[in-house]
């Protein structure tokens, strides 16, 4: 295939602008492959590509930007849409994928990028995008986070996502808890935390592990019952997964997999449910149940959740379900930008920031106010790519690139509008 000098130059400039004025040969070549160039064409164009990159890299960034403005229209949109690798096991119905933020505050820029990985696949294959607001830890649930996240998600995914709030689904978690107890995959443990820790260390079962299902069901009812009526008090009982003995049980090679907790009593008043519930599912129960009930097909999540994924896979297996395909993302570190919902929350409370959409904050609400379009985040995710490698971004570089994606998406929109107007 023929690759024009202009096209090579366009990608070299684009890449240079994104990376401090220095284009990377590999990135430029991979962009050209996306344009249809084949490996064998490298014989013809390899030298030319190096020459052009060398020339582009010798220019200052101002010049690069000026020239890129003239050339960017010849770059194919395809390259940006097809930046993510194909997913395995996609059925005709498409994919069901999710963004599952905790209800600790509004969404910020990294939620937007992480959610966009999944959303891009939903756009590509069809199916369903789910936003699941995880608020089953009453202590870490920020009053109003459900509404803030809903608003952010509706904007970010253009009202195409199905939004769920976990605390509205408590009866479903209870149903599954009972199912796990009845199938001998869970038991209610009343050992003090410290003595259970000893059991984990010594790889031995606690006395509760051998209770009958009937005894466990009685204990479960006591967890749900008000302590005034003779029920357990917080800390007196937890529901535990019974790690199957076939895979080691309490002697599982990974201590984190040994009879981990599934539900606990917590009387902290919940901002959405008030005092309606006293037993709360822990993450590995709530997430497993929802991924089963919502028929998740593929999951993209941070690699810090690898152990949780292993626990959830065990819960799936105990319930006779096949675990979805999973990809893990490396950690992102931003130089010059702090991404902590807790810090934002504290800043808002102290008056440092006005609201969640304060222009000083890197929240979705603020970025929206600053004129960013959802497509800019979708494209950014494609550009970053699925990778387990940790990444460091300079704040200014990150936003320069986001600006570039934002400008091209605005331009596309304007084009569409003008075309529509002429009809």
Residues in touch with Zn ion (CB under 5 A): 189, 191, 206, 208
Please identify, using beta-carbon distances, which residue of 209 and 368 lies nearer to Zn ion.
209
Q: How far is the CB of 215 from Zn ion (least distance, A)?
A: 12
Give CA–CA dist 128/122, Å, rounded: 6
Please identify, using beta-carbon distances, which residue of 69 and 245 lies nearer to Zn ion.
245
Quick one: tokens of 347?
């800043």
Give CA–CA dist 384/84, Å, rounded: 9
Give CA–CA dist 132/114, Å, rounded: 13
Please identify, using beta-carbon distances, which residue of 206 and 361 lies nearer to Zn ion.
206
35 phi and psi, to 5 degrees?
Answer: -80, -10
Give CA–CA dist 343/340, Å, rounded: 5
Q: How far is the CB of 145 from Zn ion (least distance, A)?
A: 34
DSSP 414: H
Q: How far is the CB of 247 from Zn ion (least distance, A)?
A: 20
Please identify, using beta-carbon distances, which residue of 59 and 211 lies nearer to Zn ion.
211
Give CA–CA dist 361/26, Å, rounded: 34
For residues 8-34, one letter each, b for 16 or more C-beta atoms within 10 angstroms of the residue's C-beta and e for the rest, the string is bbbbbbbbbbbeebebeeebbbbbbeb
Q: How far is the CB of 220 from Zn ion (least distance, A)?
A: 14
Q: How far is the CB of 219 from Zn ion (least distance, A)?
A: 10
Q: Which ranges of 183-340 would DSSP assign to H, the alpha helix?
A: 193-202, 213-224, 283-293, 306-318
Q: How far is the CB of 178 from Zn ion (least distance, A)?
A: 19
Please identify, using beta-carbon distances, which residue of 16 and 206 lies nearer to Zn ion.
206
Please identify, using beta-carbon distances, which residue of 192 and 371 lies nearer to Zn ion.
192
């Amino acid at each position: 295939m023929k690759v024009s000098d202009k096209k090579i130059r366009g990608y070299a400039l684009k890449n240079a602008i994104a990376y401090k004025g220095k284009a990377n040969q590999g990135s430029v070549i991979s962009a050209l492959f996306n344009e249809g160039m084949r490996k064998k064409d490298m014989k013809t164009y390899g030298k030319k590509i190096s020459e052009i990159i060398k020339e582009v890299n010798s220019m200052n960034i101002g010049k690069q930007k000026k020239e890129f403005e003239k050339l960017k229209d010849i770059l194919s949109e395809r390259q940006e849409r097809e930046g993510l690798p194909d997913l395995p096991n996609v059925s005709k119905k498409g994919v069901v994928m999710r963004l599952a933020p905790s209800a600790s505050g509004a969404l910020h820029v990294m939620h937007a990028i992480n959610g966009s990985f999944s959303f891009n696949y939903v756009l590509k294959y069809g199916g369903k995008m789910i936003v699941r607001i995880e608020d089953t830890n009453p202590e870490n649930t920020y009053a109003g986070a459900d509404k803030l996240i809903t608003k952010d998600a509706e904007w970010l995914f253009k009202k195409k996502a199905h939004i769920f709030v976990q605390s509205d689904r408590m009866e479903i978690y209870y149903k599954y808890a009972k199912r796990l107890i009845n199938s001998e995959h869970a038991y209610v443990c009343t050992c003090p935390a410290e003595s259970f820790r000893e059991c984990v260390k010594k790889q031995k079962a606690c006395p509760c592990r051998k209770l009958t299902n009937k005894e466990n069901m009685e204990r479960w009812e006591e967890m749900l019952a008000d302590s005034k009526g003779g029920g357990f008090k917080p800390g007196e009982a937890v529901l535990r997964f019974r790690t199957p003995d076939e895979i080691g049980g309490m002697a599982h090679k990974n201590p984190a997999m040994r009879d981990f907790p599934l539900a606990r009593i917590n009387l902290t008043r919940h901002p959405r449910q008030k005092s309606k519930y006293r037993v709360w599912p822990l993450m590995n129960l709530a997430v497993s149940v929802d991924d089963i009930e919502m028929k998740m097909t593929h999951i993209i999540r941070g690699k810090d959740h690898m152990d949780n994924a292993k626990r959830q896979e065990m819960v799936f297996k105990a319930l006779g379900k096949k675990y979805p395909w999973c990809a893990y993302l490396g950690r992102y570190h931003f130089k010059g930008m702090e991404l902590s919902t807790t810090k934002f929350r504290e800043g808002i409370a102290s008056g440092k920031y006005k609201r969640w959409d304060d222009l000083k904050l890197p929240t979705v609400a603020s970025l929206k106010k600053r004129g960013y379009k959802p497509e800019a985040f979708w494209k950014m995710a494609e550009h970053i790519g699925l990778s387990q490698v940790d990444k460091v971004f300079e704040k200014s570089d990150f936003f320069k690139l986001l600006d570039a994606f934002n400008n091209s998406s605005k331009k596309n929109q304007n084009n569409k509008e003008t075309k529509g107007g002429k009809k």
